[in-house]
Amino acid sequence: MAEAPSDANRIATGARDRVRFEEEALALSDQVYRVARHIANSREDAEELVQETYARAFRSWRSYQPGTNLRAWLLRILTNLNIDRGRRNQRAPQMQALEANDYFLYDKLADSGDGTTDEDRVVERLSQDDVVSALSAVPHDFRDVLVLVDLGDFSYQDAAQILDIPIGTVMSRLHRGRRILKRELAESVAEGDS
């Protein structure tokens, strides 16, 4: 019959598991920051949020189930902290009509400029600043989903779990968020032309 592990052994195993958890979590910090940067409103907010996330993760590491998606678990802590901290005080989005079809930005970029319609080149008419400010102009509920799926490469299912919303809501917010982003980008083209 196997002997019950001694207390000292149990403590050693626990410490080893914790250290492994911390290392795995830290190895994901670049990816966590990338997403956090655009869920938060500024770089400073993102840095604070990531620190709070890791502090909480290290304290409650036992509630993480080994073998499940650690990156999603960390992002879930992060999005909850972001809500708790009231950093989402942006006004509710105005439900103004979005352009009827999904292609208006392409049409706009292709119609203006030097006449190039090459798909890879028309996007280059957008400056990096245009893209960054267009993304930050997308209201939070839509941006959170957009950032998780399009920048963080999370599946619809993962995004639903992270944000604790139904998958259908993920899909509709993603769809709308992408359209809002394109509308913002199209507006930056119009401003650049005037």
Minimum Å distance from CB 136 to another protein? 9
Contact flag: residue 55 with another protein (CB under 8 A): yes
Instruction: Looking at the chain, list the stretches that DSSP marks H as alpha helix, in order from N- to C-terminal side.
Output: 7-27, 29-39, 43-59, 70-84, 104-111, 119-122, 128-136, 140-146, 156-163, 167-193
Contact flag: residue 51 with another protein (CB under 8 A): yes
Pick the binder of another protein from 84, 124, 164, 193 (CB under 8 A): 124
Pair 185, 134: CB distance under 8 Å: yes
Contact partners, residue 36, CB within 8 Å, separation at least 6: 46, 49, 50, 53, 78
Stretch that binds another protein, among 53-61, 68-76, 78-86, 87-95 (CB under 8 A): 53-61
Stretch that binds another protein, among 1-9, 72-80, 83-91, 172-180 (CB under 8 A): 172-180
Tokens encoding 136: 């930050």
Contact flag: residue 26 with another protein (CB under 8 A): yes
In the DSSP assignment, the letter for residue 147 is I
Pick the binder of another protein from 132, 164, 190, 193 (CB under 8 A): 132
Q: How large is the greatest C-alpha to C-alpha distance in the chain, in angstroms? A: 83
Nearest to residue 98, comparing CAs of 160, 163, 185? Answer: 185
Name the site residues for another protein (rule: CB under 8 A): 15, 18-19, 22, 26, 29-30, 33-34, 37-38, 43, 47, 50-51, 54-55, 58-59, 101-103, 105-106, 117, 119-120, 122-124, 126, 128, 131-132, 135, 149-151, 156, 174-175, 178, 181-182
